[in-house]
Structure 1
Amino acid sequence: MHLTGPWALEEDLRRSFDLPAWARRAYLLRCPAQRAAALPPELRGVDPLLDAFPGGVPTGVEAEALGHLRAIARRLRGAVRLAGTGAVVVPDADAAIDLTVLAPVWLDHDAGLQVLGQVLPAVRSALDDIPDDLAGQELEGYMVISDLGDGDLVEIEASGLAEVPIVLRGTDWAAGGVIGYQIRWRPAHPELAYRDRPPLRVRGARTRAADLIEHAAAALQALVGGEIVDDDGFLVDPGDLAG
């Protein structure tokens, strides 16, 4: 693989490539094509990136490269133009709302419940759902659940990580072990929430969940330190969060 750029996009070039009007810079990635079988008919229309490869689904290093490009485009609110079909895929940046706080400090169950109860509605512990015969066992982590109504939940799972995430490698404090506080939206209807174009009411619920997730991440990070990352592993500036 070989990545070059950024290249300036003049208006005539942007028009010839059928790029969005807001596009100003572009990078070029050259990657070997590695394809599997054609996309099954029942999966067409589910993922616009896969739809751009009707003759064979990318696999191996090509699939990995495309995954990274889409993650970068989502983070930067950009787009990916694919050679061959010329399809332009614009990831929905507002769809990636989950966050993780990576920290050197373990926040015990009761403290976590108290902190999150200050920024999230209807907070309870998942330990309340554990059968009595398992309640006395030592646990390696815990989960806090916030009920947003209409079946939507936000889950916060605290646990130690087996490996140091790439984004923290070389960080002195991470060498002593990293605790992950994963903050996830659990929509009542994932089949609608994770569509390319979810219904308006689902987008409204997602926006509310995103705001609460940011408040939760900000509250946790203020207490335990460390860093905040999105689901693609990119660092998030706490100053950009709602909290």
Structure 2
Amino acid sequence: MIPSRGSAQEASAEGQSEKQPQLEDPTLAAITEPVYEGETYRFAGDGHAFTDPAKDTYVVATQWGEGELLPITADQQHLLFVPQDVTAEEIEALVVSLWDEAGWLMPGILGLFDEVTLSGPWQISRQIGRELKLPNSAAWGYLIQVAPNRRQPEAGMAVEVAEALYASDHVSPLFKGELPVGDEYQVLSHLLDVAARVGGGIRSDQGLVYEPDPDHLVDLTVYAPAWLPGKDMLSLIQRINPQARVLTDAWAPWVNPGFARASEAPEHQLVPLALGSALSSSTSPYAIEIPLERRGAVILEADYSDVVPRALRWEEWVKEQVAVYLLTWHPSQDRTHLSSRPSRQIRMERLAATVLIEQIAAQICERTDGEAVDDAGFIVAFDQS
């Protein structure tokens, strides 16, 4: 995917033509003309990235070749690392789900948005892996090229508050005493989701390595062109778990499906009804609770939406209002206080919730011709064998 040049670049080219003669040899012109050009850098056909020295912008010049070892300068940059069996095509598919502009600018340069790119995949040798303190599973690396933008805790903020905010942040394991903001934060946060999806991790430019928990994304949202009435949904779910029951809609207001979690309402606000009593209308939104065998529950909310994740932007049926089925895990403990290292009890609950949610989502997809998307915005496929 090579973007067309804008009028500003054309004007610049015209200005340069007045200062220097045009190249008459078309072959020579093709060699010297960049295949992609941004405001502060340009890529030539051989893979070199040239920066404008007048711009104070963080851009790394790199020359990538298939099978090339990770360059020695990698210790000064953010690095996405993945296992041996993860292909460049898989990484491309995931980032395309996250950014509208994402795609290959040229071999070895995967654009995300604006001038933010990944270069790679670079091969990670055992020696380089040891020097960078990467896990043994790290086989391929992608250098993350994004302008650094950091922020220290605000002056006057209580130490305890600052530490709590820092510890709860998604990217905090990658930094010491500061956190990225703006584009750098967005990129690292999303790429941590990519890493979790493929069993990889990120090494920051501060030398800190973090492998996100691949099992932390439990909730799924099914977007579909067909509406499944509440009575039919209850019947479908009760074939999987006979204890499923209908809830009133007062316990949790509907919130942007697929982009925010359902309300973390206290358990006493979940009011079960007699089966079918809240399902009088076949087109009304509804909620169903499915208790887990141990503790906790899964809640299904069904409604309509005009908004879908980027991963589904090419589906024909998203041009109209779509049906949305949100499956959310409600553990026995307050979800907002779950640590990055959950207890054995919570891990067991999470596993049971994951299995149940995937079972139900797969059935809904089959009945409605829908697609399941996780909280990171990635499409989830189910093994139908």
Check whether TM > 0.5. yes
Counterpart residue number, 2:290: 146
TM alignment of 1:148-187, pairs within 5 A: 148=292, 151-187=295-331
CA distance in 1, matches of 2:216, 2:173: 19
Identity score, percent? 32
Asked whether the 8 Å contact 1:47–1:196 carries over to 2, the reply is no
Q: Residue 287 of structure 2 contacts residue 299 of structure 2 at CA under 8 Å; is this kept in 1?
A: yes
Between 121-130 and 24-33, report the one with greater CA deviation. Answer: 121-130
- Alignment correspondent of 2:366: 222
Amino acid at match of 1:172: E
Letter in 2 for 1:165: P
The aligned amino acid for 2:196 is R
Residue 98 of structure 1: CA displacement? Answer: 1.2
State how many pairs are aligned: 237
Work out whether residues 150 and 188 of structure 1, in 8 Å CA contact, stay in contact via their aligned partners in 2: no
Query: Which residue does the alignment assign to 1:79?
Result: 201
- Partner residue, 1:212: 356
* TM-score calculated relative to the size of structure 1: 0.88
- Alignment partners' CA distance in 1, 2:126 and 2:350: 35
Let me know the Cα RMSD of the aligned residues.
Answer: 2.6
- Deviation of residue 176 (structure 1)? 2.4
Identify the match of residue 247 of structure 2 among 116, 126, 131: 126
Query: Which residue pairs with 1:28 in the alignment?
Result: 143
The Cα of 1:64 is off from its aligned counterpart by 0.6
Q: Deviations over 1:113-135 (max 9, x none)?
A: 1111111352011138389xxx7
1:40 lines up with 2:162 in the alignment: yes
1:105 to 222, 226, 233: 226
| 2:200 paired with 1:56 | no
Contact kept? 1:192, 1:202, Cα under 8 Å: no
Give secondary structure in 2 for the equivalent of 1:208.
helix
Q: Is the 8 A contact 1:124 1:145 kept in 2?
A: yes
Larger Rg: 2
- Determine which structure has the larger helix proportion and give its number: 1
Higher RCO (C-alpha 8 Å, min separation 6): 1
1:216 positional shift: 0.7
- SS at structure 2 position matched to 1:3: strand
Verify the 8 A CA contact 1:228 1:235 in the aligned structure 2. Answer: yes
DSSP-derived class of the 2:327 partner: strand
Amino acid at match of 1:11: R
Contact between 1:103 and 1:179, CA under 8 Å: does it hold in 2?
Answer: yes
* Structure 1: gaps of 5 or more residues: none
Give the equivalent residue in structure 2 for 1:3: 118
Tell me if the contact between 1:122 and 1:148 (Cα under 8 Å) persists in the aligned partners: no
Contact 1:187/1:193 (8 A) holds in 2: no
Q: Which segment is superposed worse, 140-149 or 88-97? A: 140-149
Contiguous gaps of at least 5 residues in structure 2: 1-115, 154-160, 250-270
